[in-house]
């Protein structure tokens, strides 16, 4: 009962925040990023968490979405129309690179995706006639901060909602089968390649749309900022920290990622030594070694331990 109230309060709070606190511009900015990262992390999770295909090159899709928005907006398209266009382009790109990459398993797939991500960045950097090369593309104006916030919030909600729906569907069960044992899944009649390709398609589409929101906010896209390896890494770290394969795990990871990055950026001592790297590195190592289900897994354990104790006490009383 209390949990439902807490959830309701949180949702309501987020919805009215810009209206309730009109002068908290900075908090609005941070929350925008938190929800955007939440959408990005959830998108990756559909492929990496649900179907177990860990990709280190997902920035390619974010970049395509970001550039699509920037270039189409410059050509006169209204902003809202550029988002689905960017998503579609990213999804189409996934159809191109998916099938050959999916012939690889596990770590080999991961390494191939590093290569694919880098190759996409190099193409964007060198295909100047299309992308402007190293100069990047600048958008002329951005919608007001409150509008951006609701776009990001809506995107996050839509992505999480889609993830929840997928997980509970037959498709989701097929993906889970692919994740735990691809060969057994095949014998059960699941076409693993098609399942993985579909998951990638959805993942790429969502990340492409998120890329559009990214461009809308940052107003300037360049090959390094959108296609860079560090972007790919952050999209992997967030779901792993929060809880890979779950619905809310990526969002939790995104919240922590945003808060930590924000605090570390401006603190001169911490920024000088780039301590965010250690924090995420240690979290990653810790999770891999001790609790692969991430922070949600840890909370689950604590909750279970608490629940296991309570009945015992009541029995002895």
**Residues 252 to 311: which contact another protein by CB under 8 A?**
252, 255-256, 258-259, 262, 265-266, 268, 271-275, 277-278, 280-285, 288-289, 292, 296, 299-300, 303
* Cα three-residue angle 118-284-222, rounded to 5 degrees: 30
- One residue of 135, 147, 161, 305 binding another protein per CB under 8 A: 135
Residues 35-74 vs another protein: string with x where CB under 8 A?
Answer: -----------------x-x--------------------
> At closest approach, how far in Å is the CB of 316 from another protein?
28
The two tokens of residue 250 are 């990526």
Q: In whole angstroms, how close is the CB of 3 to another protein at the nearest point? A: 4
125 contact partners, CB below 8 Å, separation of at least 6: 131, 133, 134, 223, 224
- Between 84 and 133, name the residue whose CB sits nearer to another protein: 133
Closest CB to another protein among residues 84, 143: 143
Nearer to another protein, 24 or 194 (CB): 24
User: Encoding tokens for residue 276?
Assistant: 């965010």
Main-chain phi, psi angles of 245, to 5 degrees: 85, -5
The one among 42, 45, 94, 222 contacting another protein by CB under 8 A: 222
b vs e for 143-180, b when ≥16 Cβ sit within 10 Å of the residue's Cβ? Answer: eeeeebbbbbbebbbebbebbeebbeeebbebbebbbe
Between CA 208 and CA 87 the distance in angstroms is: 4
Rounded to 5, what percent of the chain is helix, strand, coil? Answer: 80, 0, 15
By CB under 8 A, residue 175 contacts another protein: no
Q: Which of residues 103-122 bind another protein (CB under 8 A)?
A: 103-104, 106-108, 110-112, 114-116, 118-119, 122
Stretch that binds another protein, among 88-96, 135-143, 167-175, 188-196 (CB under 8 A): 135-143
Beta strands in 112-197 (DSSP E): 137-138
């Amino acid at each position: 009962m209390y949990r439902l109230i807490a959830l309701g309060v949180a949702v309501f709070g987020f919805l009215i925040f810009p209206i309730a606190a009109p002068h908290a511009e900075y908090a609005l900015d941070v929350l925008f990023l938190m929800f955007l990262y939440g959408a990005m992390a959830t998108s990756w999770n559909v492929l990496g968490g649900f179907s177990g295909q860990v990709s280190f090159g997902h920035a390619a899709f974010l970049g395509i979405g970001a550039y699509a928005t920037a270039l189409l907006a410059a050509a006169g398209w209204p902003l809202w129309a550029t988002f689905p266009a960017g998503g579609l382009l990213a999804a189409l790109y996934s159809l191109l690179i998916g099938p050959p990459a999916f012939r690889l398993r596990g770590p080999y797939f991961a390494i191939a995706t590093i290569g694919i991500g880098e190759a996409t960045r190099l193409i964007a950097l060198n295909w100047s006639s299309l992308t402007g090369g190293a100069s990047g593309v600048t958008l002329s104006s951005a919608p007001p901060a409150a509008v951006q916030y609701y776009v990001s919030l809506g995107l996050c909600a839509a992505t999480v909602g889609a993830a929840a729906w997928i997980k509970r569907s037959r498709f989701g069960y097929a993906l889970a089968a692919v994740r735990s044992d691809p060969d057994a899944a095949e014998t059960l009649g699941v076409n693993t390649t098609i399942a993985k390709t579909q998951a990638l398609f959805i993942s790429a589409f969502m990340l492409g749309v998120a890329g559009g929101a990214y461009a809308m906010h940052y107003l300037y896209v360049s090959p390094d900022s959108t296609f860079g390896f560090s972007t790919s890494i952050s999209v992997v770290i967030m779901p792993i920290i929060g809880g890979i394969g779950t619905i809310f795990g990526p969002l939790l990871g995104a919240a922590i990622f945003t808060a930590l990055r924000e605090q570390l950026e401006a603190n001169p001592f911490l920024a000088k030594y780039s301590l965010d790297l250690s924090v995420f590195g240690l979290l990653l190592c810790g999770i891999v070694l001790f609790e692969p289900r991430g922070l949600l897994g840890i909370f689950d354990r604590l909750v279970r331990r608490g629940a296991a104790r309570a009945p015992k006490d009541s029995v002895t009383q």
